[in-house]
Amino acid sequence: KYTLWNFKALQNELQVMKELRFKTSEENGVALGWHIKNLSASSPVYWHNGATGGYKSCMAMDLEQQNAVIILSNVAGSNNAKRRYIDTLCFDLLDTLSQG
């Protein structure tokens, strides 16, 4: 439901949360509670991840194409190599959805 709420008109209550607050690089930035990937793209990706003892999650949304991926896993949050797999999988799945 939360992703569907984000897909509603760009002027909804959540729009202020998605406004760029700080650029971390030429391609990436930070909004209120969201990381923004591919700032130069016509359709940036809003994402956030998290981890705690034994669990890892990642959520990524392409608002323009109305695609989203949410991954909840029991991959240990303290293992950096395994944590990156979840983020990579999340972005790869979102790219696949966007292509077709």
Tens-digit pLDDT profile for residues 29-82: 999 999 999 877 778 999 999 988 888 999 999 988 999 999 999 876 566 776
Predicted TM-score (pTM) of the model is 0.86
pLDDT tens for residues 72-88? 998 765 667 766 889 99
The SS3 call for residue 41 is: coil
Residue 98 is encoded by which pair of tokens? Answer: 């966007």
* Tokens 């959805």 -> residue: 97
| Adjacent-strand bridge partners of 46 | 36, 61
